[in-house]
């Protein structure tokens, strides 16, 4: 499989905090990879380095002909970034705007500033947005304000916005951490189906090992800024899970039960 992303010796420290110590991995075109690891392991930091929301200290991040770690010019960064979609735990929508306007924002990276500012989208883009909204079951809600949506609906808009970018790579940082179990399943199914359909590579940070096992074709386990596991889900043993999380399985399943109870 040809790679869409190649990360080599990525390092990001925050002062004395060694958030990401030495991380190397690749993602194939259209591949679905889950990153798991305890809180503070460096999962979000890795994703933020990939689309250069933060600047790494060292290493290279090759994506689609660019080294995301080394781009200096703002214009080049904008071009490189437009084919990297992002999905966040807190959705990051513009809440005073409609569903449709939020989805159209996915096209901003392709437009000049003026057209973007006055919302001068092409007919083709509008048609595309309607198709995607239809596909994710949000067609009826296009005029609703984003603030009026449920969490699951907000995340569907987040997915639609990311798909409008025609991404080659989709980065999802805890996409279901703020959702109840039934919305979580809808969102994971949508992320899975849409990326499979359009052959989009996807990296998803997850807290739930069982979700990672169900959807990903490969799992990367991070412990204190280092990769300790990088293999297919069937190879992820209980011992390995304990190593990744630095705690016993019993302790982990207790946390899981508490999460379930909190949602009940």
Ligand X SMILES: Nc1ncnc2c1ncn2[C@@H]1O[C@H](COP(=O)(O)OP(=O)(O)OP(=O)(O)O)[C@@H](O)[C@H]1O
Residue 40 lies near ligand X (rule: CB under 6 A): yes
- The reply to whether 19 sits near ligand X by the rule CB under 6 A is yes
37 binds ligand X (CB under 6 A): yes
Candidates 21-29, 36-44, 138-146, 195-203; binding stretch for ligand X (CB under 6 A):
36-44
Q: Within positions 157 to 216, which residues make up the interface with ligand X, using CB under 6 A?
A: none
* Stretch of residues binding ligand X (CB under 6 A), selected from 12-20, 25-33, 79-87, 152-160: 12-20
Min separation Cβ 233 and ligand X, Å: 19
State yes or no: residue 14 binds ligand X (CB under 6 A).
yes
Work out the angle between the directed axes of helices 238-245 and 249-263 (0-180°, nearest 10): 80
Closest distance between Mg ion and the C-beta of residue 167, in Å? 20
Interaction partner, residue 39 (ligand X, Mg ion, none; CB < 5-8 Å by kind): ligand X
**Strands 169-173, 201-205: pairing kind:** parallel
Residue 207 CB, nearest approach to ligand X (Å): 6
Does position 43 interact with ligand X (CB under 6 A)? The reply is: yes
Q: How far is the CB of 97 from Mg ion (least distance, A)?
A: 26
Q: Smallest gap, in angstroms, from Cβ of residue 128 to ligand X?
A: 32
Concatenate the DSSP letters of all residues of the chain into one string: --EEEEEEEEEEEETTEEEEEEEEEEEETT-EEEEE--TTSSHHHHHHHHTTSS--SEEEEEETTEETTT---HHHHHHHHTTEEEEETT----TTSBHHHHHHGGGGGGS-HHHHHTT---HHHHHHHHHHHHHTT-GGGTTSBGGGS-HHHHHHHHHHHHHHT--SEEEEESTTTTS-HHHHHHHHHHHHHHHHHTT-EEEEE-S-HHHHHHH-SEEEEEETTEEEEEE-GGG--HHHHHHHHTS-HHHHHHHHHHHHHHH-
Give me the least distance between CB of 57 and Mg ion, in Å please: 19
42 binds ligand X (CB under 6 A): yes
Query: Which residues make up the interface to Mg ion (CB under 5 A)?
Result: 43-44
Total number of residues binding ligand X (CB under 6 A)? Answer: 11
Task: Tell me: does residue 45 bind ligand X (CB under 6 A).
Answer: yes
Q: Residues interacting with ligand X, by CB under 6 A?
A: 14, 17, 19, 37, 39-45
């Amino acid at each position: 499989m040809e790679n869409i992303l190649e990360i080599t010796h990525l390092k990001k420290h925050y002062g004395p905090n060694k958030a990401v110590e030495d991380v190397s991995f690749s993602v194939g075109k259209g591949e679905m990879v889950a990153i798991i690891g305890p809180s503070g392991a460096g999962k979000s930091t890795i994703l933020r380095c990939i689309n250069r929301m933060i600047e790494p200290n060292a290493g290279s991040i090759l994506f689609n002909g660019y080294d995301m770690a080394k781009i200096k010019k703002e214009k080049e960064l904008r071009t490189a970034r437009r084919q990297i979609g992002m999905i966040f735990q807190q959705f990051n929508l513009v809440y005073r705007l409609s569903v449709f306007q939020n989805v159209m924002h996915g096209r901003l990276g392709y437009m000049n500033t003026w057209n973007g500012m006055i919302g001068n989208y092409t007919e083709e883009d509008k048609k595309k947005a309607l198709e995607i909204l239809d596909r994710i079951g949000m067609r009826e809600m296009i005029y609703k304000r984003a603030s009026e949506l449920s969490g699951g609906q907000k995340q569907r808009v987040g997915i639609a916005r990311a798909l409008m970018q025609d991404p080659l790579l989709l980065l999802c940082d805890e996409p279901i951490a703020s959702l109840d179990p039934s919305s979580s399943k809808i969102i994971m199914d949508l992320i899975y189906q849409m990326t499979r359909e359009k052959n989009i590579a996807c990296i998803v940070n997850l807290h739930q090992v069982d979700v990672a096992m169900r959807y990903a074709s490969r799992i990367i386990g991070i412990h204190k800024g280092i990769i300790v596991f990088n293999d297919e889900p069937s190879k992820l043993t209980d011992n390995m899970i304990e190593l990744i999380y630095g705690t016993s399985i019993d302790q982990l399943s207790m946390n899981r039960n508490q999460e379930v109870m909190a949602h009940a």
